[in-house]
Amino acid sequence: MVQVMKHEIRRAAVLGAGVMGAQIAAHLVNAGVPTLLFELPGREAGDGSGPARRAIEGLAKLDPAPLALPSLAEHVQPANYDEHLGRLSDCDLVIEAISERLDWKHQLYERIVPHLAADAILASNTSGLSIADLASGLPAERQSRFCGLHFFNPPRYMHLVELIPGPATSARLMDDLESFLVTGLGKGVVRAKDTPNFIGNRIGVFSILAAFHHTQALGLGFDEVDALTGVRIGRPKSATYRTADVVGLDTLVHVIGTMERALTEDPWHAMFPVPAWLGRLVEEGALGQKSGRGIYRKAGRDIQVLDPDSMDYRPADRVIAPEVDAILKDRDAARRLSALRGSEHPQARFLWNVTRDTLHYCACHLESIADNARDLDLAIRWGFGWQEGPFELWQSVGWQQMARWIVEDIRAGSTLASAPLPDWALDTTRTGVHGNEGSWSPLGRLQRPRSALPVYRRQPFPDRVVGEDRTFGTTVFESDAVRLWTTGDDIGVLSFKSKMHAIGEDVLDGVAEAVDEAERSLAGLVLWQTEAPFSVGANLSGPSAPKSGRPPPTALGSMVKRLRREAESAILKAARRLNVADALMAGRLEKIESVVSQFQATSQLLRYCRIPTVAAVDGMALGGGCEFVMHCDRAVATLESYIGLVEVGVGLVPAGGGCKELVMRTAADARDGDLFPFLRGYFQAAATAEVGRSAHHARRLGYLRASDPIVMNRSELLHVAKAELTALAERGYRPPLPARSIRVAGRSALATLKAHLVNLCAGEFISDHDYQVASRLAHVMCGGIVEENSTVDEAWLLALERTAFMELLATEKTQARIEHTLRTGKPLRN
């Protein structure tokens, strides 16, 4: 069962401390790999590694954060080529990420090769140069241990890594490196052929170029196209043009330039010159987000967009036309595409044209750039944040129908190139490219099964493509709110079915029933969701709304852009889920109190039931979700877990056992010593509704324990959670003894916390009601107005939670906050 990595990467080096190099180094230390970051020597005396050191310092300023915790920066060691090449001999992996110049790279290889350990892996993070050309600069015996390793920006958050062998690269090296990238760095690996821009950028950038062309041809505005090509069609919110701004227009021009220079035989070559308006923006230094202006710019509070004809900006206010929007709302892909194709509306024609041309391009080039259709689709999903890959869309529409439409358009001369579809695409018996047996490989002329590399045995449910079985194990029982299932072993997996996996009464009932069933017939229970988030928290309004039938979002690119905003608006999301307003208005306070009691009882059940429980966390675990995480015997969290108690944001206190847990953790941390220094940190996190920005940060905040493992790859989460559960069960699990004497900080600590709040209130940093809310939280977390070091039990603390929750819920201002947040999605400061 255990898949051990054969080639261990003990230390790594990254050559080149540019934005990519430094961020790759940061992600290596996120993964626990000590890393040297090399840059040219600086001119300052006694500080030859100044440039590398400054790049490491600069990591702290990047957003989203490349490091899971700022303090990890100390594990990236600055180095320079003059003084430290000798240190390369300790490194098992050396990633070159310097400027995209073949001659410079060759010169660098010449310098470093004598210092490399014999079995070290040398890889280039090039995005445009040929791996074969790069390999030619290495001695023959080195070429077998060299390959391309293409990260996407930002490397911590973008799931895709392309792995490109050179002509002499050893197959063993490719397997070793892939295993490390998957388990060690948590990446989604796609093997690409050594063609310009590989797979992700080749297809992704073509799609952008096609959009550029049709935007102009149909006279659409850039903002209009972004409205059309964003979340509405399952792409990142930044859509087409804003993505270009985020990536950097100079970078985009560079990648397009590679296509123009290197793909002279490409039938679409006429598309590859850089559009005049784009060239002009770059000349003007308007490079997008990083230079404050690009295709978009900010004018005060307004966003303006470039008009390519006048090269001036106008307000960005164009939206999707209602008739086109109506088409896009159709879930049926065939009907949707048919309607777009049949419409005369320029917006509809745009979407049809770009979709058709992208699919046309993918079909014609699949054989030369990738082994199979799955690799292409996953590269686009993982590297560009599309919810479904191009071939997945094609297959959803109906292979024959889509192929006919493309052929008709080729004949009509409306496609961007006249190249015919390849014969395999025209095969009249074809129903798709993906299936359970594998995905179409044009070169092999077979359905290529998923990789047999042992590392993938750790992924019971990898990101699956259309046509593959998308079910999860065998159902033990299922309600409207939850599903308990197994994969044929004796470990129960409990998944919530509610939207955003919010926890309502029905979910609470489901958890209790699952625990009951597991105690009867299973070795233990893993709480795992079929897609992120883990849970956005409590929903006290009634039956949970079942989630839509859409496939789970791959969340990659879109997640990156949303990440920061999401963390910041976590409170809002929690509030929305915490749909208590209706019940309030209807005077159902009593009912709510009983649900709160039920919530607490469920948390306690997870802690004290007779079987081990493991929470497997990916994405957000907020409020009640966080409380479940805290009550399971173990939590296993992916690096990208965002955990926190956010109730204070809507004027409430955590009341599902979260405060109680923090009090117990305080007492455990303090051992026999003073409670207050430990209490202060926990209080501050809960009182400010702080959400951890990574699993490491959640550990720092106290929501994860030191014993809760962190996994890098979300697809391995269930595997590791089950392993943890097995370990708990194998030792002859017994629930913990109930906590009968919990030491609390008492009334002096409460007064001290309140004194701090009084100052914030006097300084008008917080409102009177903020003071009320935080004071109640302090009251609970200090164990009430009792003497310092009094001992209480869990029931005492849970009663304090309930009382504080209900008291706050009864205040007009908390009600106004909840109501306002539900109505507007914004927080209310009152």
Partner 1 sequence: MEKQIQDAYIVAAVRTPVGKAPRGMFRAVRPDDMLAHVLTEALARVPSVDREAIDDVVVGCAIPEAEQGMNVARIGLLLAGLPRSVSGMTVNRFCSSGLQAVAIAADRIRLGEADVMIGAGTESMSMIPMGGHKIAMNEAIFRSDENIGIAYGMGVTAEKVAAKWHVEREAQDAFAVESHRRAIAATEAGEFRDEIAPYRVRTMVPDLETGEVRTIERLVSDDEGPRPGTSMDVLAKLRPVFAAKGSVTAGNSSQTSDGAGAVVLASEAAIKRFGLTPLARFVGYAVAGVPPEIMGIGPIEAIPKVLRQTGRSLADLDWIELNEAFAAQSLAVIRELDIDPSRVNPQGGAIALGHPLGATGAIRVSTLVHGMRRRRQHLGMVTMCVGTGMGAAGVFEVL
CB of 694 to partner 1, least distance (A): 28
Comparing CB distances to partner 1, the nearer of 570 and 761 is 761
CB of 533 to partner 1, least distance (A): 33
CB of 11 to partner 1, least distance (A): 18
CB of 750 to partner 1, least distance (A): 6
How far, in Å, are 320, 321, 337, 747 from residue 324 at the CA level? Answer: 7, 5, 11, 63
Largest Cα separation within the chain, whole Å, is 86
Comparing CB distances to partner 1, the nearer of 237 and 747 is 747
Residue 750 in contact with partner 1, rule: CB under 8 A: yes
Contact of 374 with 465, CB cutoff 8 Å: yes
Chosen residue from 601, 758, 799, 816 binding partner 1 by CB under 8 A: 758
Chosen residue from 765, 787, 795, 824 binding partner 1 by CB under 8 A: 765
Residue 755 in contact with partner 1, rule: CB under 8 A: yes
Comparing CB distances to partner 1, the nearer of 522 and 766 is 766
Chosen residue from 446, 585, 762, 795 binding partner 1 by CB under 8 A: 762
Instruction: Looking at residues 769 to 798 of the shown chain, list those that interact with partner 1 (rule: CB under 8 A).
Output: 785, 788
Chosen residue from 583, 747, 789, 793 binding partner 1 by CB under 8 A: 747
Cβ neighbors of 477 (< 8 A, separation 6 or more) are 483, 484, 513, 514, 517
Residue 86 in contact with partner 1, rule: CB under 8 A: no
**How far is Cα 41 from Cα 366, in angstroms, rounded to an integer?**
43
DSSP for 51-101 reads HHHHHHHHGGG-SS-SSSSGGGGGGEEEEETTT-GGGGGG-SEEEE---S-
Contact of 592 with 806, CB cutoff 8 Å: yes
CB of 788 to partner 1, least distance (A): 8
Is 180 in a helix, a strand, or coil? helix
CB of 772 to partner 1, least distance (A): 12
Contact of 804 with 776, CB cutoff 8 Å: yes
Chosen residue from 759, 787, 823, 825 binding partner 1 by CB under 8 A: 759
Residue 87 in contact with partner 1, rule: CB under 8 A: no
- Site residue total, partner 1 (CB under 8 A): 19
Nearest to 631 by CA among 533, 544, 525, 540: 525
CA dihedral 812, 814, 820, 823 (to 10 degrees): -100
Comparing CB distances to partner 1, the nearer of 417 and 758 is 758
Chosen residue from 368, 521, 594, 748 binding partner 1 by CB under 8 A: 748
Comparing CB distances to partner 1, the nearer of 489 and 787 is 787
CB of 752 to partner 1, least distance (A): 5
What's the full length of the chain, in residues?
830
Site string for partner 1, 640-679 (x = CB under 8 A): ----------------------------------x-xx--
Beta bridge partners of 93: 12, 121
Asked if the bond preceding 543 is cis, omega within 30° of 0, the reply is: no
E strand spans, 92-167? 93-96, 121-124, 146-151, 160-165
Comparing CB distances to partner 1, the nearer of 688 and 752 is 752
Q: Which two tokens stand for residue 558?
A: 């879109």
Q: Which two tokens stand for residue 471?
A: 């079910």
Residue 74 in contact with partner 1, rule: CB under 8 A: no
Comparing CB distances to partner 1, the nearer of 643 and 750 is 750
CA angle, 717 then 718 then 720, to 5° = 65
Q: Which stretch binds partner 1 (CB under 8 A): 110-118, 430-438, 544-552, 761-769?
A: 761-769
Chosen residue from 251, 598, 688, 752 binding partner 1 by CB under 8 A: 752
CB of 786 to partner 1, least distance (A): 11
Chosen residue from 310, 418, 763, 812 binding partner 1 by CB under 8 A: 763
Q: Which two tokens stand for residue 413?
A: 């001369």
Comparing CB distances to partner 1, the nearer of 608 and 771 is 771
Q: What is the DSSP letter of 184?
A: I
CB of 810 to partner 1, least distance (A): 21
Comparing CB distances to partner 1, the nearer of 591 and 747 is 747
Chosen residue from 601, 751, 806, 816 binding partner 1 by CB under 8 A: 751
Comparing CB distances to partner 1, the nearer of 767 and 811 is 767
CB of 674 to partner 1, least distance (A): 6
Q: What is the DSSP letter of 596?
A: H
**How far is Cα 787 from Cα 798, in angstroms, rounded to an integer?**
18
CB of 315 to partner 1, least distance (A): 33
CB of 748 to partner 1, least distance (A): 4
**How far is Cα 30 from Cα 67, in angstroms, rounded to an integer?**
6
Comparing CB distances to partner 1, the nearer of 118 and 755 is 755
**How far is Cα 792 from Cα 270, in angstroms, rounded to an integer?**
77
Comparing CB distances to partner 1, the nearer of 168 and 751 is 751
CB of 193 to partner 1, least distance (A): 48
Instruction: Looking at residues 512 to 551 of the shown chain, list those that interact with partner 1 (rule: CB under 8 A).
Output: none
Nearest to 91 by CA among 209, 10, 4: 10
N-terminal to C-terminal alpha carbon distance within the chain: 56
CB of 755 to partner 1, least distance (A): 4
Nearest to 658 by CA among 807, 534, 507, 781: 781
CB of 745 to partner 1, least distance (A): 9
Q: What is the DSSP letter of 734?
A: -
Q: Which stretch binds partner 1 (CB under 8 A): 46-54, 413-421, 450-458, 757-765?
A: 757-765
Is 311 in a helix, a strand, or coil? coil
**How far is Cα 635 from Cα 707, in angstroms, rounded to an integer?**
8
Comparing CB distances to partner 1, the nearer of 540 and 792 is 792
Residue 764 in contact with partner 1, rule: CB under 8 A: yes
CB of 46 to partner 1, least distance (A): 15
Instruction: Looking at residues 481 to 510 of the shown chain, list those that interact with partner 1 (rule: CB under 8 A).
Output: none
Comparing CB distances to partner 1, the nearer of 166 and 746 is 746
**How far is Cα 61 from Cα 19, in angstroms, rounded to an integer?**
11
Residue 683 in contact with partner 1, rule: CB under 8 A: no
Instruction: Encode burial over 664-683: b for 16+ CB neighbours within 10 A, e otherwise.
Output: bbbbeebeeeebbebbbbbb
Comparing CB distances to partner 1, the nearer of 291 and 767 is 767
Instruction: Looking at residues 101 to 120 of the shown chain, list those that interact with partner 1 (rule: CB under 8 A).
Output: none
Contact of 184 with 156, CB cutoff 8 Å: no
The order of strands in the sheet holding 146-151 is 76-80, 35-39, 12-15, 93-96, 121-124, 146-151, 160-165, 188-191
Q: Which stretch binds partner 1 (CB under 8 A): 94-102, 582-590, 759-767, 818-826?
A: 759-767
CB of 763 to partner 1, least distance (A): 4
CB of 651 to partner 1, least distance (A): 20
Comparing CB distances to partner 1, the nearer of 100 and 807 is 807
Comparing CB distances to partner 1, the nearer of 104 and 765 is 765
E strand spans, 156-240? 160-165, 188-191
Nearest to 138 by CA among 128, 149, 147, 151: 147
**How far is Cα 337 from Cα 397, in angstroms, rounded to an integer?**
7
Residue ranges in contact with partner 1 by CB under 8 A: 674, 676-677, 747-752, 754-755, 758-759, 762-765, 785, 788
